[in-house]
Amino acid sequence: MTSSIARFDRGHTDDLMTFLAASPSPYHAVANAAERLEKAGFRQLSETDAWDGTSGGKFVIRGGALIAWYVPEGAAAHTPFRIVGAHTDSPNLRVKPRPDSGAHGWRQVAVETYGGTLLNTWLDRDLGLAGRLTLRDGSHRLVNVDRPLLRVPQLAIHLDRQVNEGLKLDRQRHMQPIWGLGEDVRDGDLVRFVADEAGLDAEDVAGWDLMVHSVEAPAYLGRDRELLAGPRMDNLLSVHAGVAALAAVSAADGLECVPVLAAFDHEENGSESDTGAQGPLLGTVLERSVFARGGGYEDRARAFAGTICLSSDTGHAVHPNYAERHDPTHHPRVNGGPILKVNVNQRYATDGGGRAVFAAACETADVPWQNFVSHNDMPCGTTIGPITAARHGIRTVDIGVAILSMHSARELCGVDDPHHLANALVAFLR
């Protein structure tokens, strides 16, 4: 790393807290990432316009996904890419098409569970509402009601004496939040309320993608404030680090690759969408970048053959109360540096060569790193790494930051790991 590139420290973690709080939905996360990239000199391209082959930073936005890249001066059409992959979505509760419901004097909002949500973490928590509204002219408007608005009340222990022996929640019956009182449930009430919050007329709203979020702010935790508690670390922690790293390397000289950030939506439910890693978005953007620089199919093939992707997503730190659930020889710890994820059944895409790439990046950045592998009796999770490798034929390595309470409404990481990750990504992208 050259001295011209700032090295991230705990100030990066402070900034992460700001990013988490300002990004209650994938659409907000993308908008905030785009704002940061624009400040670093990147410009937004439209997918419907013709692209030129000029150098500099560029990005495209599609829904809750963002692809950004930096073309160095004089880069050939066959110049390989260095990609940081991440995702913008998190498990939560999302508003149904007909949201107005209620019973017994309570007004409720009909929601659907999204992704592998830890349902109990949404109980008895002050919740806001955020997302995007689609207007009749096809444009979108972000909305964020970031104050206590909804609550999913848990049944009192007096009415469920066995609750501490095992809480069972029905997604349809038990997870519908309340947001007021009233006997009459009127269709359109919620949309009228949200439209008013966004400064719009409800009649102009043709559709919506809304979701609930905890309004509790991210916070340092612990005797020595060495821990960070907050929402949506899976996986906005990686998105934030990727944006910071891409902006940093764009200011460097002598780049021998085209650094890329690919922040996808819908990872938590399988990535099968036009904004997910299963879709063609990344491949289309990379190909258009090659062609815009005057390349053809042969240049595209050469560029892809030399490309490497670090798929960055959170992983499991060893849990002190459930250590037996982890592999006995692999116990990643918070503040121990980013983790290298390995699964021989290809739930992660890492191989020995990928290990060498990641180790070299961490060594260059002077950050520690750790190995992660699942207990043989525990099903292994997955992420966008294997999808990216299989769909595009791109060499991919799965990495991340070790956290506790994954998929909770509020997760926990170490305060040093976010900037360790960002520094490793800078070294990799260079």
Predicted confidence (pLDDT) per residue in 186-243, tens digit: 889 999 999 999 999 999 999 999 999 999 999 999 999 999 999 999 999 999 999 9
E strands along 285-350, which residues? 308-312, 315-316, 339-341
Average pLDDT over the chain, rounded to whole?
Answer: 96
Q: Which CATH class is domain 92-214?
A: mainly beta
213 annotated as a binding-site residue: no
Backbone angles phi, psi at 262, to 5 degrees: -120, 105
Domain 10-90+231-429 identical in fold to domain 92-214: no
User: Average pLDDT of 375-380?
Assistant: 89
407 annotated as a binding-site residue: yes
Nearest residue to 218 via CA among 412, 12, 427, 418: 412
The single-letter DSSP state of residue 151 is: B
pLDDT at 422: 98
The single-letter DSSP state of residue 428 is: H
List pLDDT tens digits, range 351-366. 999 999 999 999 999 9
User: Average pLDDT of 47-54?
Assistant: 96
Number of Cβ within 10 Å of residue 301's Cβ equals 14
String of DSSP letters for 27-91: HHHHHHHHHHHHHTT-EE--TTSPPP---EEEEEEETTEEEEEEE-TT--TTPPEEEEEEE----
pLDDT at 184: 83
List pLDDT tens digits, range 99-147. 999 999 999 999 999 999 999 999 999 999 999 999 999 999 999 999 9
% of the chain beyond a pLDDT of 90? 95
Phi-psi region at 326: left, alpha or beta (left = phi > 0; alpha = psi -120 to 50)? beta
CA-to-CA distance for 404 and 410, rounded, in angstroms?
10
- Model confidence band, residue 4 (pLDDT cutoffs 50, 70, 90): low
Judged against a pLDDT cut of 60, whether residue 1 lies above it is answered with no
Tell whether omega for the bond before 235 is within 30 degrees of 0, i.e. cis.
Answer: yes
List pLDDT tens digits, range 162-183. 999 999 999 999 999 999 999 8
Residue 362, C-beta contacts closer than 8 angstroms, at least 6 positions apart: 337, 338, 368, 369, 424, 427
Task: Supply 111's token pair.
Answer: 């929601």
pLDDT at 186: 87
User: Average pLDDT of 16-43?
Assistant: 98
CA-to-CA distance for 246 and 59, rounded, in angstroms?
11
Question: Which CATH code, of 3.40.630.10, 1.10.1790.20, 3.40.50.1820, 3.40.50.170, is assigned to 10-90+231-429?
Answer: 3.40.630.10
Q: Is 95 exposed, middle or buried (0-12, 13-18, 19+ CB in 10 A)?
A: buried
330 annotated as a binding-site residue: no
Q: Which residues pair with 114 in a beta bridge?
A: 92
CA distances from 406 to 56, 214, 311, 314 (A): 37, 15, 17, 8
Nearest residue to 110 via CA among 185, 196, 44: 185
- Model confidence band, residue 397 (pLDDT cutoffs 50, 70, 90): very high
pLDDT at 2: 42
Type of residue numbered 414: G
User: How long, in residues, is the chain?
Assistant: 430
Q: Provide the residue ranges of all domains of the chain, joining segments of one domain with +.
A: 10-90+231-429, 92-214
